[in-house]
């Protein structure tokens, strides 16, 4: 105990903190010492947890002891999460694509249920435009919605069409049905909203020259903002919520042969799939479950950390929560049906990898405990943590600062600690309920909830108030508790730990407020999403011609910056985009349309000083497919 008192006493603890933070900051600034930064950040958290256990647990009575242990349990969960993150981010594998020597046959599966045809059309354009021998791959549309218009669209692109009489097994059942009716050596799987680039097969098939490789996964990249970027109007400053996982953690798993199939943008060798009985239908997360059973048979996986397809993020808070609760349910189901800790055939690193995935989706309970713990002190006088604000800032603040630096360095700017807290706060209540109902009966068959995609919304919407009710109630109680705590503090009747609870409650209120704001879905009037695309172009109207650059493009229109203002609103025009990507597609893409809006001239320091115009819904491409390929390029 004397050693701990000296370690946590002044001035040693302060000098120790300054030294470690200085090393972390210096290494980050130099762009070196990735492993040292990870280790020192974890060390600071372990130091904080030991301090919490020895000096801050309140055991005054059984109620206080129970509250203190509950909070400490939540922090132990966080420590495990940080440890698993450090393990997977320690040494990511930078895998490179290799050219194929054999040219195996490939069946490309595109799954669809009830999504709009425009979304399917974009994906089929990418699928049929592969730079891979035409006689070596076949595109199949797997229609679980049994729609004739989908069949017609598939035929127009020369794709095969497969439907079934029932929808048993949901997406996994759909894939298995097609698996029995096709013969390709490899199988590429795409969700209906994921558009592959022309080189997808060219970049990935070569990895199967190693006979031990059973599947290859590529990152999920998205061309629309996620709900946090969009609803908080932070598209330009906030990175996609899934970027950390796909750009860092999957590459780290690949170093241990534990990267898993993520449901889309991946390829399988047919034989290993047949050996395990096809895609697994026992859980609602068929992707990770199938991957784990393939790994258990001794096969190898590859993660190619290169964007080769783009897709759609959930477009509303409700869709986002539906997706995440399905993932949480599926991971709990997998734990009981094929526990990675006991499943024969997995290596220890693979067990840790799959356990980390399950562990992450259990964060609902620990997060709710941390959100509500300050209320015990502010409203009921039960103090779970006995510490001064200065001590808390010293020990936890040091770890938090190190985490900010570490995440910025390791994730290459894709994530910071504040937004991690917001993401978990937004999900915690729905995930807690999903975990509880699944744990009560983990063997019960759960419905596969399809994430809605391509839904237009023309007015602001609070996505299903019932999903937000726990957040609103918790925020209201925190506000009431803060007012009560401030009253006690100002009346000079404070009790031990009041200041900590006030600080803690204020921080939780901030996280909840941001999460609630993110749930307010902004309206979307366009039927198709505009994407940033800078290409040289030319516009002709009333005998006048002007060069310019595109700023945004979609299938129905464009935002263009012209060198000379030659257009008026409502005026017909001729529009040509210079396709500078090369390849075997036409270089010049032409369209006729109407100027639906004029924007003012830019400032004198900008390169294009003329007025811009919006070529709106009247835009009609002379050849629709090449015009869309320009967007996909």
For residue 583, pLDDT over 70 is answered with no
Residue 524 has what DSSP assignment? B
Which residue among 107, 143, 144, 521 is the active-site one? 144
For residue 107, pLDDT over 80 is answered with yes
- Cβ atoms of residues 303 and 254 within 8 Å: yes
**CB neighbours (10 Å) of residue 289?**
26
Burial profile 16-46: b = 16 or more Cβ within 10 angstroms, e = fewer: ebeebbeebeebbeeeebbeebbebbbebbe
For 375-393, what is the mean pLDDT?
88
For residue 627, pLDDT over 50 is answered with no
For residue 605, pLDDT over 60 is answered with no
For residue 530, pLDDT over 90 is answered with no
What sign does the dihedral 130-134-136-140 (CA atoms) show? Answer: positive
Distance CA 491, CA 494 (A): 8
Distance CA 185, CA 106 (A): 6
Task: Return the pLDDT at 389.
Answer: 85
Which range is least confidently modeled, 8-17, 88-97, 551-560? 551-560
Percent of the chain with pLDDT over 90: 59
Structure confidence at residue 598 as a pLDDT band (50, 70, 90): low
Task: Return the pLDDT at 153.
Answer: 95
For residue 585, pLDDT over 50 is answered with no
Task: Return the pLDDT at 600.
Answer: 55
- Residue 521 annotated as catalytic: no
pLDDT in tens, 305-329: 999 999 999 988 888 999 999 999 9
Q: What pTM, to 2 d.p., does this model score?
A: 0.87
Question: How far does CA 432 lie from the centroid of its chain?
Answer: 19
Q: Give the 3-state secondary structure of residue 400.
A: helix
Task: Return the pLDDT at 388.
Answer: 84
pLDDT in tens, 129-143: 999 999 999 999 999
| 529 compared with 136, residue with greater pLDDT | 136
Structure confidence at residue 592 as a pLDDT band (50, 70, 90): confident
Q: Tell me the two tokens of residue 201.
A: 């097969």
Q: Give the 3-state secondary structure of residue 193.
A: coil
For residue 624, pLDDT over 60 is answered with no
- Characterize the bridge pairing of strands 221-222 and 309-311: parallel
Q: Tell me the two tokens of residue 290.
A: 């199938």
What sign does the dihedral 15-18-22-23 (CA atoms) show? Answer: positive
Most distant CA pair in the chain: distance in Å?
A: 90
Tell whether omega for the bond before 473 is within 30 degrees of 0, i.e. cis: no
Task: Return the pLDDT at 156.
Answer: 94
For 451-462, what is the mean pLDDT?
60
Q: Which residue has the tokens 């040289």?
A: 536
Task: Return the pLDDT at 460.
Answer: 53
Distance CA 237, CA 239 (A): 7
For residue 194, pLDDT over 90 is answered with yes
- Residue 166 annotated as catalytic: no
- Cβ atoms of residues 550 and 534 within 8 Å: yes
Residue 603 has what DSSP assignment? P
Nearest to 383 by CA among 473, 500, 486: 500
SS (H, E, C) 121-176: HHHHHHHHCCCCCHHHEEEEEEECCCCHHHHHHHHHCCCEEEECCCCCCHHHHHHH
Nearest to 396 by CA among 165, 121, 71: 71
| 184 compared with 6, residue with greater pLDDT | 184
For residue 414, pLDDT over 50 is answered with yes
Task: Return the pLDDT at 497.
Answer: 75
Tell whether omega for the bond before 301 is within 30 degrees of 0, i.e. cis: no
Q: Tell me the two tokens of residue 482.
A: 């803060």
- Cβ atoms of residues 133 and 126 within 8 Å: no
For 145-163, what is the mean pLDDT?
94
Q: Which residues pair with residue 300 across a beta bridge?
A: 213
Which range is least confidently modeled, 255-259, 423-427, 560-564, 581-585? 581-585
Nearest to 69 by CA among 51, 44, 52, 46: 52
Task: Return the pLDDT at 53.
Answer: 92
Distance CA 571, CA 587 (A): 26
Task: Return the pLDDT at 553.
Answer: 77
For residue 11, pLDDT over 90 is answered with no
Distance CA 584, CA 626 (A): 11
Task: Return the pLDDT at 541.
Answer: 80
| 6 compared with 126, residue with greater pLDDT | 126
- Cβ atoms of residues 120 and 150 within 8 Å: yes
Average pLDDT over the chain reads 86
Distance CA 141, CA 108 (A): 8
Which residue among 191, 287, 338, 554 is the active-site one? 287
Task: Return the pLDDT at 412.
Answer: 82
Q: Tell me the two tokens of residue 472.
A: 């609103």
Task: Return the pLDDT at 446.
Answer: 83
Residue 278 has what DSSP assignment? S
For 498-513, what is the mean pLDDT?
92
Q: What are phi and psi of 24, to 5 degrees?
A: -60, -45
């Amino acid at each position: 105990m004397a050693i701990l008192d000296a370690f946590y006493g002044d001035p040693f603890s302060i000098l120790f903190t300054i030294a470690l933070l200085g090393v972390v900051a210096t290494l980050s600034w130099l762009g070196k010492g990735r492993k040292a930064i990870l280790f020192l950040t974890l060390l600071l958290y372990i130091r904080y947890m030991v301090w919490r256990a020895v000096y801050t647990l309140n055991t005054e009575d059984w109620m206080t002891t129970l509250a203190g242990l509950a909070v400490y349990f939540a922090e132990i969960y966080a420590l495990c999460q940080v440890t698993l993150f450090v393990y997977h981010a320690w040494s990511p594998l930078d895998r490179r694509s290799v050219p194929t020597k054999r040219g195996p046959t490939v069946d490309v599966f595109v799954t669809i249920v009830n999504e709009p045809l425009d979304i399917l059309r974009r994906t089929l354009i990418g699928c049929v435009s592969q730079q891979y021998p035409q006689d070596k791959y076949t595109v199949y549309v797997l229609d679980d919605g049994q729609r004739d218009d989908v069949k017609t669209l598939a035929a127009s692109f020369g794709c095969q069409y497969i439907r079934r009489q029932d929808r048993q097994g949901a997406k996994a059942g759909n894939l298995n049905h097609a698996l029995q009716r096709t013969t390709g050596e490899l199988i590429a799987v795409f969700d209906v909203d994921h558009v592959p680039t022309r080189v997808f097969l060219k970049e990935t098939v070569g990895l199967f020259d190693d006979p031990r490789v059973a599947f290859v996964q590529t990152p999920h990249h998205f061309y629309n903002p996620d709900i946090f970027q969009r609803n908080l109007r932070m598209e330009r400053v906030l990175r996609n919520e899934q970027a950390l996982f796909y750009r860092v953690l999957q590459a780290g798993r690949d170093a241990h042969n534990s990267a898993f199939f993520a449901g889309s943008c991946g390829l399988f060798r047919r034989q290993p799939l047949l050996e395990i009985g096809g895609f697994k239908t026992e859980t609602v997360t068929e992707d990770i479950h199938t991957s784990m059973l393939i790994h258990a048979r001794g096969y190898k996986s590859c993660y190619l950390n290169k964007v080769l397809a783009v897709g759609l993020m959930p477009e509303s808070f409700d869709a986002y929560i539906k997706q995440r609760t399905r993932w949480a349910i599926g991971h709990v189901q997998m734990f009981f049906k094929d526990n990675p800790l006991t499943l024969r055939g997995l290596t220890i690193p693979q067990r840790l990898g799959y356990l980390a995935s399950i562990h992450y989706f259990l964060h609902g309970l620990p997060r709710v405990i941390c959100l509500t713990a300050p209320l015990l002190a502010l409203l009921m006088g039960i103090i779970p943590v006995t510490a001064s604000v200065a001590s808390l800032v010293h020990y936890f603040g040091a770890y938090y600062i190190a985490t900010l630096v570490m995440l910025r360095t390791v994730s290459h700017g894709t994530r910071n600690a504040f937004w991690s807290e917001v993401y978990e706060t937004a999900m915690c209540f729905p995930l807690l309920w999903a975990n509880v109902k699944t744990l009560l009966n983990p063997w019960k068959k759960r419905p596969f909830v399809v994430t809605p995609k391509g839904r237009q919304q023309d007015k602001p919407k609070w996505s299903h108030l019932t999903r937000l009710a726990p957040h609103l109630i918790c925020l209201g109680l925190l506000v009431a508790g803060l007012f009560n705590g401030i009253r006690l503090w100002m009346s000079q009747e404070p009790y031990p730990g009041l200041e900590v609870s006030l600080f803690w409650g204020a921080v939780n209120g901030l996280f909840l407020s941001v999460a609630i704001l993110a749930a307010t879905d902004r309206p979307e009037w366009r039927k198709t999403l505009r994407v940033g695309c800078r290409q040289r172009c030319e516009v002709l109207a009333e005998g006048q011609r002007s060069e310019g650059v595109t700023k945004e493009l979609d299938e129905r229109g464009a935002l263009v910056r012209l060198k000379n203002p030659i257009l008026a609103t409502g005026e017909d025009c001729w529009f040509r985009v210079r396709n500078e990507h090369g390849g075997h597609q036409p270089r010049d893409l032409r369209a006729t349309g109407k100027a639906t809006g004029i924007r003012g001239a830019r400032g004198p320091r900008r390169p294009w000083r003329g007025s811009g115009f919006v070529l709106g819904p009247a835009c009609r491409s002379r050849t629709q497919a090449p015009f869309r390929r320009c967007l996909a390029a």
